[in-house]
Amino acid sequence: MGQVKQGSYDLTLTWRSQFAVHKDRLHVDAVDLVRAIFPADMKQAVSQLDAGETVRLEFEKGTLVPSAHSSNIITFDEALFETRQGPLKIKPAVGRFYPQGLASAALNCARNNFTPFRLITHAHGKMVADKNHPLSLYPLRLETRCIKHKQSVSGQKNIGIDIAEWVTHNGPGMQAPYIDRDTDFFSPYPFRQSEDLDDESFYQSPRLVNHLDSTAIAQVKKIYARLLKPGDYILDLMSSFVSHIPEDLDGYSATGLGMNAEELQANPQLSDHVVHNLNRQPELPFGDDQYDAVLCTVSVEYLTHPIEIFREVGRVTRKGGIFVITFSNRWFPGKEIQPWSEMHPFERMGLVLDFFRKSGCFECLQTESIRGIPRPLQDPHVSQTQHSDPIFAVYGKVSK
């Protein structure tokens, strides 16, 4: 067997729901261009790409993923839904996603089936499950960007992958609400934290540690670099000893709001700072229309009154200003709001998107996900996972 060309690629899905534009990027290493299955005529175009070049195709709804079908809408008795998964007791909520195995008898599948279904009705002892792919109702754009080419060793066994299945699997689409109803994220509200840990006591001692690996931090900075402008007045919400503002952003001024004075004083990117507990006092201690941009990095999962705080962000930010939320799959255990740890990561994007929507202060909403980038070899967790921390972002412009 001769040499086979391989490549590393970024696969990006772009699509629009009724409330936002969504962009989901997946990095895939060592794609075998002979064995891989590309949709439509993309394979030939991809094989001709040089590093840095992109090919994109548009797909009508139901072509990149299976079409939605009424046979995948299934009504069953609520007694057939298993409300316990190990130590976790599950309270089913309309609009949320659950593994099909939790209703295996009703959905005719194995109990270890983790393919999600969406609960679209729960009333009078009956549940209605939607097993259709969450992207089945949307036209999709697929972009393939070549990162680098390489030659595989002769005789090396390479596994071909189905590109369409790979990029649409395990999450994309779950961040959008169901077509004709809201997701029940807010029972009860305000949120409770998973453990009753007093904020002032918890944050009394400084924690001068990064919560993301260096590659993930670089991805966060790239997002902020696209959305921030030179000269912006920036509010870094729930700040710490680092703000992830791009180093080459010119002329900005940044105020940090956080829980620990020593952390904030150690942050070289802040012009000034305020110690303030948003869970105790959601009102921001700033005047109206004071900022051009507000950032919140890997902290939104701790907010017990997010709707009120998002409204406050709308108040203190100028019209057209940007509010950007980024998060990953790490948090302080016990400090997160109760629904957070039970959710699929893409559902968490849907929850944060709902914060923006329900606050009534924002427009031009967008979500982004970035997954699959290799973890730095020097990272202490590289032996546990080869992938960098995933990054999820939700942002919008102040509409007042």
pLDDT of residue 4: 46
Shared domain check, 391 and 356 = yes
Provide the token pair at 271: 């012009």
**Is 178 a domain residue?**
no
User: What pLDDT sits at residue 195?
Assistant: 83
Does residue 148 sit in the same domain as residue 275?
Answer: no
Domain match, 359 and 232 both: yes
Is 180 domain-assigned? Answer: no
Q: Is residue 182 part of a domain?
A: no
Of 130, 157, 177, the position where a domain reaches its end is: 130
Total structural domains within the chain: 3
Q: What is the CATH number of the domain that holds 23?
A: 3.10.50
Which segments of the chain have a pLDDT < 70? 1-4, 150-160, 208
Question: Are 308 and 299 spatial neighbours (Cβ–Cβ below 8 Å)?
Answer: no
Report residue 159 as tokens. 């596994």
Are 354 and 290 within one domain? yes
Question: Residue 226 is part of which domain span?
Answer: 199-398
Q: Return contacts of 273-276, CB within 8 angstroms, 24+ apart.
A: 273/239
* Residue 349 sits in the same domain as residue 215: yes
CB 330 within 8 A of CB 298: yes
Q: Which residues pair with 103 in a beta bridge?
A: none
Confidence (pTM)? 0.94
| Residue 57 exposure: Cα atoms within 13 Å on the Cβ side | 18
Structure confidence by residue, pLDDT tens digits, 11-30: 999 999 999 999 999 999 88
Regarding whether 88 and 28 lie in a shared domain, the answer is no
155 and 114 part of one domain: no
The residue to which tokens 């009102």 are assigned: 283
The answer to the question of residue 175 being in a domain is: no
pLDDT at residue number 85: 77
Contact 326, 391 (CB under 8 A): yes
Domain annotation covers residue 185: no
Q: How far is 3 from 104, CA to CA, in rounded Å?
A: 45
DSSP codes, 213-254:
-HHHHHHHHHHHHHH--TT-EEEEET--S-----TT--S-EE
Structure tokens at 124: 């009078």
